[in-house]
Amino acid sequence: MKTKKVYVYRSFERFWHWLQAILIMFLSFTGFEIHGNYTFFGFEEAVRYHSIAAYMFLILIIFAIFWHFSTGEWKQYIPTKDNMVAQMKYYISGIFKHAPHPTRKTVLSKLNPMQRLVYFGLKIMIIPLSVISGLLYIFYRYPQSYEIKIISVESLKVIAVVHTIAAFLLVAFLVVHLYLITTGETITSNLKAMITGYEELEIDEDEEVQIKEQAS
Amino acid sequence: MRKIIGAIGVIVLVIVVAVGTLTTRTMKPTKIDLLKEEYSEKHQPAVDHSLFPQLNKEFASAKEVTAECITCHNKRHDEVMMSNHWNWEREEYIEGRGIVSIGKKNAMNNFCIGTQGNEKSCAKCHVGYRMDKKGFSFTDPNNIDCLICHDNTETYAKAPNAGGDALPTLDLNTIAKHVGTPKRTNCGVCHFYGGGGDNVKHGDLSSDMFYPSRDIDVHMNVDGMDMECVTCHKTENHVISGKMYSLSSMNHNRVFCSDCHTDTPHEQQILNEHTVKVSCQTCHIPTYAKGKSTKMAWDWSEAGKLKDGKPYHEEDSLGNHTYLSIKGSFKWDQNVTPEYQWFNGTARHYLEGDVIADTTKPLIMNELLGSYADSESKIIPVKVHRSIQPIDPINRILIQPKLYSDSIGVGAFWKDFNWKTAATEGMKDAGLPFSGEIAFTKTEMNWPVNHMVAPAEEAVSCNECHVRENGRLASLNDFYLPGRDYSKILENIGFATIFLSLIGVAIHATIRFISNKH
């Protein structure tokens, strides 16, 4: 099969990805300072920056949701069992023997079954967990006399613990994600693709026609 | 051309809007500006007492001045005679014991312990004359000491150990002609010297507050707002607002910062949200006893040592008594960081004759009630005064010793230095049983800190509480404090997950690297 430089990641997708990457790293950094693990900005500034970044993240998420649905890209994240075992075998042993990637990457199916599962989990579990607990962290109210508040909590502890769980999971994801982007055709091909949008992909003739049609 | 005109138009519009919004913002007065304006108007007396002919005479005694006051202010003495300053007791509801009469008459403290049997000396701070344990008439209005509060010459003073009588050397004619609203000096002569010396009791009320600098107290600052005590302690009909929980128990007639400053005084919303659980004083009084030292600990068990058969005293480098034969040994401190407690405005008290259930733990003389879970409670700064004081170990009640007397041989500890006779006489005066045994027990007394408010820039910063170790709130553990608290299990699992991810990635990468080489 021949390969061709294909426009895989569109400009908004790349913008969204990188801004999200920066925000998650910054939120983790300021978040763990607020959590008391180290001092860098100082508690007051860390809280301020964390809140600003949180609002930016929220706006970005709203745009990203709109983008996913308006482009139909959301379908890329629906988990599938097809090829799952093969993909796992590849990461466990195939990769060391220079076996070919078991899942072919195309514009319409950018993610392998494991990526689908992990990103799906990220999108519908970990990030919502982080965002919802984060919003409660900002907007919770203590019960007050003569005042009825909807978001009143007896204790911040549950909110804080859930928010911390999400934070640990996100950092663990980040570690593995940063490593796995080096497992493309070459070490940097995935990174380059996410920067430029273009990636050298194997394509069959149908796809070639499709791509040409899209371009024209 | 059109484009250029359009662009210039837009730029001009932006400038106009920017200037407009920025200038309106600076023009709008802040809450604090409005308050400053309101309180910068000084009180103007309605009358000039020096023009009244009936005050223009030679008074033989301060009591005669009072009589003259009452001829015009012919209802005010009724108000005074219903006040706490006069009665030294009032009915209060105490949680767990119901409605009781409580005041200096029957409450005990861990400084000079109590007034009973010592009235003649203690009455130096009573708004009346002729106090004696037997002879004092609480019903004679002429015994009211109007001048201790209303003298504006700063020359009036009471004599020591004279049942509250005025010094005999005063120029009463001048004093009587210059009376008015109480000044800081009027309140201060008693309230700054409680416990027998400058700043002994409160810690946040010392002679430094007569004419404080901005650093000592931002409100009373003589170069600033120069506010008086009664500016905040607003008074109607001689009922003075505000209270001290050394003797009070009920959540009423209190003075709050928010009475003027509102519950949302900060520009930053996140700080305003703190006011639900944190009192203003907690952040805005980072330290107390900013000038004069305050007494932090008192050991009565050391009292009574004599040198060559005579009582003596020892001082530290600042002139604070560290030992007095009549009182025991003391610990002093200045620029003290408060301790912090939850407080909902109610307190329990140890009253004379209360049997102590557990004598192995320190007895808390006035327990401040409250907790995180109680929506009425806020965190407040507290001076805790720790003592070792006499107890009857058989009856398990605190001893009210007779301390003061004019003469030797009637059992007063300050004359005879004998605990047994002092306890026998004191307990007899108080009408309490005494087994004849004396021991010493640890006690703690809580003094909420409300004065010596620091300038805003010196307020406690976030990281003094929101910190893992040794924060100001380290001892308040009934709630989750961000930055301090965390789930230990989660912390271990979380970091283990990240660590294992790193290890996994490292191993995978190493095998890839090696297999690539082959």
- CATH code of A73's domain: 1.20.950.20
User: pLDDT tens digits, residue range A155-181?
Assistant: 899 999 999 999 999 999 999 999 999
A46 contacts A40 by C-beta, under 8 angstroms: yes
The four Cα atoms B332, B337, B343, B347 give a dihedral, to 10 degrees, of 0
A36 closest CB neighbour out of B376, B467, B490: B467
Ranges of residues in chain A whose predicted pLDDT is under 50: none
Min Cα distance A207 → chain B (Å) is: 32
User: pLDDT tens digits, residue range B266-317?
Assistant: 988 899 989 999 999 999 999 999 999 999 999 999 999 999 999 999 999 9
Answer whether B463 sits within 8 Å of A95, measured CB to CB. no
Answer whether B502 sits within 8 Å of A175, measured CB to CB. yes
E strand spans, chain A: 2-7, 198-203
Q: Which of B463, B492, B493 would best serve as a mutation to test chain A binding (most A beta carbons within 10 A)?
A: B463
> Long-range contact list for B36-42, CB < 8 A, 24+ apart?
B36/B225, B39/B225, B39/B227, B39/B231, B40/B225
Q: Which pLDDT does position B148 carry in this prediction?
A: 96
Q: Is residue B24 predicted with pLDDT exceeding 60?
A: no
How close are the terminal C-alpha atoms of chain B, in Å?
Answer: 70
Residue B299: its H or E element: strand B294-299
Q: How far is the C-alpha of A169 from the C-alpha of B494, rounded, in Å?
A: 8
DSSP state of A77: G
* Exposed e or buried b per residue across B233-265, where buried means at least 16 C-beta atoms within 10 angstroms of its C-beta: eebeebebbbbebbbbbbeeeeebbeebbeeeb
> What percent of chain B stands above pLDDT 90?
78
Answer whether A168 sits within 8 Å of B494, measured CB to CB. yes
User: pLDDT tens digits, residue range B113-148?
Assistant: 998 888 888 899 999 998 876 545 678 899 999 999
What average pLDDT is seen over chain B? 92
Residue A144 with chain B: CB contacts under 8 Å: 276, 375
B515 closest CB neighbour out of A96, A142, A167: A96
Q: Which pLDDT does position B438 carry in this prediction?
A: 96
* Residue in chain B lying closest to A45 (CA): B462
Q: Does A143 touch chain B (CB under 8 A)?
A: yes
Helix crossing, A84-92 with A113-121: angle to 10°? 100
User: pLDDT tens digits, residue range B318-344?
Assistant: 999 999 999 999 999 999 999 999 999
Q: Which pLDDT does position B22 carry in this prediction?
A: 65
Q: Does B467 touch chain A (CB under 8 A)?
A: yes
Residue B495 with chain A: CB contacts under 8 Å: 168
Spatial neighbors of B133 by CB under 8 A, at least 6 apart, are: B116, B117, B119, B120, B429
Residue B502 with chain A: CB contacts under 8 Å: 175
Q: Does A19 touch chain B (CB under 8 A)?
A: no
Residue B109: CA atoms inside 13 Å, Cβ hemisphere, count?
26
Q: Which pLDDT does position B40 carry in this prediction?
A: 86
Residue A145 with chain B: CB contacts under 8 Å: 375-376
Longest dimension (CA), chain B: 117
B175 contacts B151 by C-beta, under 8 angstroms: yes
Structural domain of A73: 2-215
Q: How many residues does chain B have?
A: 518
Residue B463 with chain A: CB contacts under 8 Å: 39, 42-44
* Residue in chain A lying closest to B471 (CA): A36
Q: Does A62 touch chain B (CB under 8 A)?
A: no
pLDDT (mean) for B243-257: 93
Min Cα distance A100 → chain B (Å) is: 14
* Exposed e or buried b per residue across A53-74, where buried means at least 16 C-beta atoms within 10 angstroms of its C-beta: bbebbeeebeebeebbeeeebe
The ipTM assigned to this model is 0.89
Q: Which pLDDT does position B135 carry in this prediction?
A: 47
- CA angle A13/A15/A16 to nearest 5° reads 65
pLDDT (mean) for B88-100: 88
Answer whether B483 sits within 8 Å of A36, measured CB to CB. yes
B354 to B94, B294, B351, B505: CA distances (angstroms): 14, 28, 6, 69
Instruction: Please tell me the total count of domains within chain A.
Output: 1
Neighbouring C-beta atoms of residue A213, cutoff 10 Å? 8
Report which residue type is found at B15.
I
A155 closest CB neighbour out of B466, B479, B502: B479
Q: Is residue B480 predicted with pLDDT exceeding 70?
A: yes
3-class DSSP assignment, residue B384: strand
B291 contacts B208 by C-beta, under 8 angstroms: yes
Neighbouring C-beta atoms of residue A108, cutoff 10 Å? 11
Q: How far is the C-alpha of B256 from the C-alpha of B249, rounded, in Å?
A: 16
Report which residue type is found at B139.
T
Report which residue type is found at B25.
R
Q: Which of B42, B41, B96, B62 is nearest to B351 (CA)?
A: B96
DSSP state of A203: E
Stretch 241-270 of chain B: residues touching chain A, C-beta under 8 Å: 270
